[in-house]
Amino acid sequence: MKKYRVGVVGATGMVGQRFVSLLENHPWFELVVVAASPRSAGKTYAKAVGDRWAMPTPMPQDAAKLIVMDASHVEEVAQKVDFVFCAVDMKKDEIKALEEAYAKAECPVISNNSANRFTDDVPMIVPEINADHAQIIEAQRRRLGTTRGFIAVKSNCSLQSYVPALHPLREEFGLKNVLVCTYQAISGAGKTFETWPEMVDNCIPYIGGEEEKSEQEPRKLWGHIEGDRIVKAASPAITAQCLRIPVSDGHMAAVFMSFEKKPTKEQILERWTAFQGEAQRLQLPSAPKQFLHYFEENDRPQTKLDRNLENGMAVSIGRLREDTQYDYKFVCLSHNTLRGAAGGGVLLAELLAAKGYLD
C-alpha cells in the first residue's frame, strides 16, 4: 500500500508533538512537513521545539531534522503533502480561515481545533460512533468548490470518555438526562507542571468554553445528515461542570444518567463489553481492540494506572451503580492528548483513508 504524505500544522505544540510521535513508523502515513508560526519557521524541528518537548518518548530523529515551514504559506505546504493534521493556538476566525485555505488548496484537513466543529457541513467524527457522517464531505466539497479538499474535525477531549460509554445505551434504552463532572489534565491546556507550576497542589473550577463544548458537541456526534448539513440530535439533555486538576495527562469524568426504559446493570455491562464500532470492524491501525473496558475494582479506573490502556486509545469505565436521583452513575477515563486529541485525529485520518476520502 502506498504511504500518504502527511503534514502537521502546529507541529511544535503539545498536540502537534503527539502527532509527530504517533506518525513515527505509522504503516499508512509518512510525516514529510512540520509547520508552525513564523517564530518557528526556518528552524529545524528540534531547534524550534527546544525544551518544550513534552512527550514520554524521544523526538523521532527524522522529524528532528525537518525544517519547520510557515503554516501561512498554504500553497507551499499543500504541494508537498496528501493531507494535513491541524492543531494550532490561534484566534477562532483565523483558524477557520487557515483550515479553509488548506481545503481550498485541495489539501484535506484533519483538525483538532474547535473552530469548525459547528460548521454545518464539516463532519465531527469519533470513528466508533458516527463514521457515517463522513458522507457530508461531498456536500462540503461542493460548497468549497474543491475536488479533494475538505475539513473533518474530531470532537473535544473532555467528552471522549463519557460519550463512548453512553453511546451503546442511548438508542436502545432512550437516554434522557446526563449530568457530568469532568476532572481534566493540564496537558489539555497545552501545559506541563514545569510551564504551569501554579497547578501543583491545586484545582481550578473553570476551563474557558469547555462546559458548552461538553454539552453541545455530543448532540452533533449523535446527529444525522439531512441534505447538505448535519442536524443535531434533540436528546439527551446534558449538563456539565469541568474542573482542571493537577494531573499531567488523562481526563476523568463522573457521570449520572437516566433513561426512558431503565436497563438492568447487567444489560449496561453487556452492551459495554460487546460494543464494536467501525474502527474495530475496519481494523484500523490505531483502533483499540476493545474500545470500552469495564473495571470491577472499586478504585478503578485510576488516571495514572489506566490512561495508557491500548496505547491511550481505549476508554476505561468503573463504579457503575444505581443512584438516588438518576438511574445510574459511573466514572470513566480517557487519555486527552491520545484518544482525546492526536490519537483520535490519526484514527479519524485512518478511517477517511480506508473509505477513500484521502485519495
Ligand X SMILES: NC(=O)c1ccc[n+]([C@@H]2O[C@H](COP(=O)([O-])OP(=O)(O)OC[C@H]3O[C@@H](n4cnc5c(N)ncnc54)[C@H](OP(=O)(O)O)[C@@H]3O)[C@@H](O)[C@H]2O)c1
Residues recognised as catalytic: 157, 251
**Binding residues with ligand X: total (CB under 6 A):** 27
Q: Which is nearer to ligand X, 125 or 268 (CB)?
A: 125
Q: Interface with ligand X includes 63 (CB under 6 A)?
A: no
Strands laid side by side in the 328-334 sheet: 237-244, 175-184, 251-259, 328-334, 315-322, 292-295
Q: Interaction with ligand X in 167-226: which residues (CB under 6 A)?
A: 187-188, 190
- Partners of 5 in the beta sheet? 30
Q: Interface with ligand X includes 89 (CB under 6 A)?
A: yes
Q: Interface with ligand X includes 130 (CB under 6 A)?
A: no
Q: Interface with ligand X includes 60 (CB under 6 A)?
A: no
Buried b (16+ CB within 10 A) or exposed e, 87-120: bbeeeeeebbebbbbbbebbbbbbbbbbbbbebe
Q: Which is nearer to ligand X, 36 or 351 (CB)?
A: 36
Q: SS3 of 180, please?
A: strand
Q: Nearest approach, Cβ of 93 to ligand X (angstroms)?
A: 12
Q: Nearest approach, Cβ of 214 to ligand X (angstroms)?
A: 12
Q: Which is nearer to ligand X, 71 or 179 (CB)?
A: 71
Cell of 119: 460548521
Q: Interface with ligand X includes 343 (CB under 6 A)?
A: no
Q: Nearest approach, Cβ of 154 to ligand X (angstroms)?
A: 8
d(CA 198, CA 146) in angstroms, rounded, equals: 47
Q: Which is nearer to ligand X, 72 or 235 (CB)?
A: 72
d(CA 86, CA 113) in angstroms, rounded, equals: 7
Q: Whose CB is nearest to ligand X?
A: 13
The residues, ordered by sequence, that sit 6+ positions from 79 with a Cβ below 8 Å of its Cβ are none
Q: Interaction with ligand X in 306-335: which residues (CB under 6 A)?
A: none
d(CA 238, CA 179) in angstroms, rounded, equals: 6
Q: Interface with ligand X includes 250 (CB under 6 A)?
A: no
Q: Interface with ligand X includes 36 (CB under 6 A)?
A: yes
- For residue 271, the one-letter residue type is R
Q: Nearest approach, Cβ of 285 to ligand X (angstroms)?
A: 21
Stretch of residues binding ligand X (CB under 6 A), selected from 73-81, 204-212, 307-315, 336-344 = 336-344
Please give the DSSP secondary-structure letter assigned to residue 29: E
d(CA 300, CA 319) in angstroms, rounded, equals: 8
Q: Interface with ligand X includes 33 (CB under 6 A)?
A: no
Residue from 12, 182, 214, 286 binding ligand X (CB under 6 A): 12
- For residue 259, the one-letter residue type is F
Q: Interface with ligand X includes 13 (CB under 6 A)?
A: yes
| Phi, psi (degrees; rounded to nearest 5) at 244 | -95, 130
Residue from 5, 24, 37, 148 binding ligand X (CB under 6 A): 37
> Comparing C-alpha atoms, which of 290, 298, 336 is closest to residue 182?
336
Q: Which is nearer to ligand X, 187 or 248 (CB)?
A: 187
Residue from 4, 7, 14, 129 binding ligand X (CB under 6 A): 14
Q: Interface with ligand X includes 248 (CB under 6 A)?
A: no
d(CA 91, CA 27) in angstroms, rounded, equals: 34
Stretch of residues binding ligand X (CB under 6 A), selected from 11-19, 129-137, 213-221, 223-231 = 11-19
Q: Interface with ligand X includes 66 (CB under 6 A)?
A: no
Question: How far from 323 is each of 252, 256, 328, CA to CA, in Å?
Answer: 19, 8, 5
Footprint of ligand X (CB under 6 A)? 10-16, 36-37, 39-40, 71, 87-90, 112-114, 157, 187-188, 190, 336-337, 340-341
